[in-house]
């Protein structure tokens, strides 16, 4: 390693940002999705040849946890704000409103916003949407009134994160109001962001919404783009990884955005420890060791989610035991794995898919969260509960000729 690569100035520890909704230092591998989002925002601002607003399809961005849905939504919000576009981004988190429609209305149109509108004498009858308003800004507004107040001011991009957490009542109000406003020509675009459970959430609130929306599925980064998630931020710090280090990083993180940030943070620590600006094999190996400990905590959380989700943990254990930890399994193999210990295979498949354990892509079925099944299998020791153990044993028996 050349001495020019060594430095006593540490790389900032916060360069990489593992965590829910943390803006990554470099948004890797999402060019196709970014283009769809930008095109929709531009369409929303534009007018057709007869001067009418053109209203793009609502967008549904969905995928297993940790693949960067929030990061992409934040990027779009920043992009529209930075470009000084006429499009107004509004972002809320459905987890903050529970089953309370008033809370959803307050998130969409907070009190200062309502007051400003009322001071200006705004009436909610635009776009053929007949609504009378409460006399005061601090009185309860309905979801429809709150939503209608947005496109009346500017073309509005309403981003609802964690939208799978919407409960049917408020969700139905939101989708119905959006439908009426958009039919009346309101420049309003909903971007619904959530885990694969979002499909059920939308279907139970308003049957057609899932079908009519433009769907953007978000899985892991591909092998060509994943390295840039580490390499580009390091480059900005005048720091580099050699080929061996990058190989270790890619093997460990498997294109999963959350793991890339987690690994990146540990890599920076290892580089700073070695006072190096050039990560080589020993540095990456040291980072991997610390990364494994972080992963353990993460998997523990995911396992307890599976445990509370209709028996999906034993089925995941069976699958993991059978097919070499879930990478590249065929649908048939996964279904066969479940048959011995599962009454309702279709239902189980759906639950595994909705919880993000299984992720179906054009390439076939893959693990939504890589190595989770590996971890599930390793955790199926004597201390695991009976159902979990049974799933694992059934899977193993099947795999090794017991069936």
Residue ranges binding ligand ATP (CB under 6 A): 17-22, 24, 27-30, 65-71, 195, 229, 257-258, 260-261
Provide, rounded to whole angstroms, the least separation between the CB of residue 255 and ligand ATP.
Answer: 10
CA distance 315 to 219: 21
CA distance 232 to 234: 5
Q: Which does 302 bind (CB under 5 to 8 A by kind): ligand ATP, Mg ion, none?
A: none
Q: Which does 319 bind (CB under 5 to 8 A by kind): Mg ion, ligand ATP, none?
A: none
Q: Which does 258 bind (CB under 5 to 8 A by kind): ligand ATP, Mg ion, none?
A: ligand ATP
Q: Could you tell me which of 367, 379, 268 has the C-alpha nearest to residue 323? A: 367
Looking at beta carbons only, is 30 or 114 nearer to ligand ATP?
A: 30
Using CB positions, name the residue nearest to ligand ATP: 68
Q: Could you tell me which of 320, 330, 314, 334 has the C-alpha nearest to residue 371? A: 320
Looking at beta carbons only, is 27 or 148 nearer to ligand ATP?
A: 27
Taking residue 141's Cβ as centre, other Cβ atoms within 10 Å add up to 24
> For residue 254, what is the enclosing H or E element?
none
Provide, rounded to whole angstroms, the least separation between the CB of residue 276 and ligand ATP.
Answer: 23
Cβ(57)–Cβ(212) under 8 Å? yes
Provide, rounded to whole angstroms, the least separation between the CB of residue 383 and ligand ATP.
Answer: 27
Query: Interface with Mg ion includes 195 (CB under 5 A)?
Result: no
Residue matched to tokens 């980072």: 287
CA distance 339 to 394: 9
Cβ(137)–Cβ(114) under 8 Å? yes
Looking at beta carbons only, is 27 or 37 nearer to ligand ATP?
A: 27
> For residue 215, what is the enclosing H or E element?
strand 214-217
Looking at beta carbons only, is 67 or 323 nearer to ligand ATP?
A: 67
Provide, rounded to whole angstroms, the least separation between the CB of residue 287 and ligand ATP.
Answer: 16
Q: Which does 184 bind (CB under 5 to 8 A by kind): ligand ATP, Mg ion, none?
A: none
The residue range among 67-75, 96-104, 221-229, 381-389 that interacts with Mg ion, by the rule CB under 5 A, is 67-75
Looking at beta carbons only, is 24 or 213 nearer to ligand ATP?
A: 24
Q: For 26-58, give one letter per residue: b (16+ CB within 10 A) or e.
A: bbbbbeebeeebbebbbbbbeeeeeeebebbeb
Q: Distances in Å between the alpha carbon of 65 and those of 60, 189, 223, 238?
A: 15, 24, 19, 31
Q: Which does 200 bind (CB under 5 to 8 A by kind): Mg ion, ligand ATP, none?
A: none
Looking at beta carbons only, is 186 or 218 nearer to ligand ATP?
A: 218
Looking at beta carbons only, is 70 or 312 nearer to Mg ion?
A: 70
Provide, rounded to whole angstroms, the least separation between the CB of residue 1 and ligand ATP.
Answer: 27
Looking at beta carbons only, is 65 or 341 nearer to ligand ATP?
A: 65
In the set 67, 70, 312, 375, which binds Mg ion (CB under 5 A)? Answer: 70
Provide, rounded to whole angstroms, the least separation between the CB of residue 390 and ligand ATP.
Answer: 29
Provide, rounded to whole angstroms, the least separation between the CB of residue 257 and Mg ion.
Answer: 11
Q: Half-sphere exposure of 151 toward its Cβ, with a 13 Å CA cutoff?
A: 30
Looking at beta carbons only, is 262 or 373 nearer to ligand ATP?
A: 262
DSSP one-letter string for 18-47: -STTPPPSS--S-HHHHHHHHHHHHHHH-B
Provide, rounded to whole angstroms, the least separation between the CB of residue 34 and ligand ATP.
Answer: 10
Residue 243: exposure state from Cβ atoms within 10 A (0-12, 13-18, ≥19): exposed
**How many residues of this chain interact with Mg ion, rule: CB under 5 A?**
2
Number of residues in the chain: 403
Provide, rounded to whole angstroms, the least separation between the CB of residue 253 and ligand ATP.
Answer: 10
Residues that bind Mg ion (CB under 5 A): 69-70
């Amino acid at each position: 390693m050349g001495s020019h690569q060594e430095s006593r100035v540490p790389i900032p520890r916060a360069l990489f940002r593992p965590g829910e909704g943390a803006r990554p230092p470099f948004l890797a591998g999402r060019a196709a999705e970014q283009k769809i989002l930008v095109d929709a925002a531009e369409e929303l601002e534009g007018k057709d040849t007869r001067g009418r607003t053109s209203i793009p399809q609502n967008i549904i961005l969905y995928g297993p946890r940790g693949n960067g849905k929030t990061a992409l939504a934040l990027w779009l919000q920043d992009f529209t704000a930075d470009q000084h576009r006429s499009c107004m981004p509004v972002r809320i988190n459905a987890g903050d409103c529970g089953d309370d429609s008033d809370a959803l209305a307050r998130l969409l149109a907070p009190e200062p916003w309502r007051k400003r509108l009322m001071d200006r004498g705004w009436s909610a009858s635009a776009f053929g949407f007949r609504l009378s308003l409460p006399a005061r800004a601090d009185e309860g507004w309905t979801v429809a009134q709150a939503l209608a107040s947005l496109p009346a001011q500017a073309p509005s991009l309403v981003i609802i994160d964690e939208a799978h957490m919407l409960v049917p009542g408020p969700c139905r109000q939101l989708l119905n109001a959006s439908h009426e406003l958009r039919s009346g020509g309101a420049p309003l675009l909903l971007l619904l962001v959530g885990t694969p459970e979002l499909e059920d959430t939308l279907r139970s609130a308003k049957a057609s919404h899932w079908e009519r929306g433009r769907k953007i599925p978000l899985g892991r980064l591909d092998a060509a783009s994943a390295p840039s998630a580490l390499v580009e931020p390091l480059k900005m710090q005048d720091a580099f990884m050699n080929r061996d280090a990058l190989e270790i990083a890619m093997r460990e993180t498997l294109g999963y955005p959350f793991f890339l940030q987690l690994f990146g943070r540990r890599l920076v620590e290892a580089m700073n420890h070695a006072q190096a600006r050039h990560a080589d094999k020993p540095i990456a190996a040291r980072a991997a060791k610390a990364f494994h400990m972080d992963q353990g905590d993460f998997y523990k959380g995911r396992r307890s989610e599976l445990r509370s989700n209709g028996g999906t943990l034993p089925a995941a254990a069976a699958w993991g035991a059978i097919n070499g930890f879930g990478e590249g399994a065929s649908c048939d193999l996964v279904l066969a794995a479940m048959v011995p210990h599962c009454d309702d295979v279709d239902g189980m498949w759906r639950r595994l898919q909705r919880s993000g354990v299984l992720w179906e892509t054009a390439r076939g079925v893959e693990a939504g969260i890589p190595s989770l099944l590996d971890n599930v299998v390793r955790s199926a020791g004597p201390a695991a509960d009976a159902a979990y153990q049974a799933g694992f044993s059934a899977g193993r028996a099947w795999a090794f000729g017991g069936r």
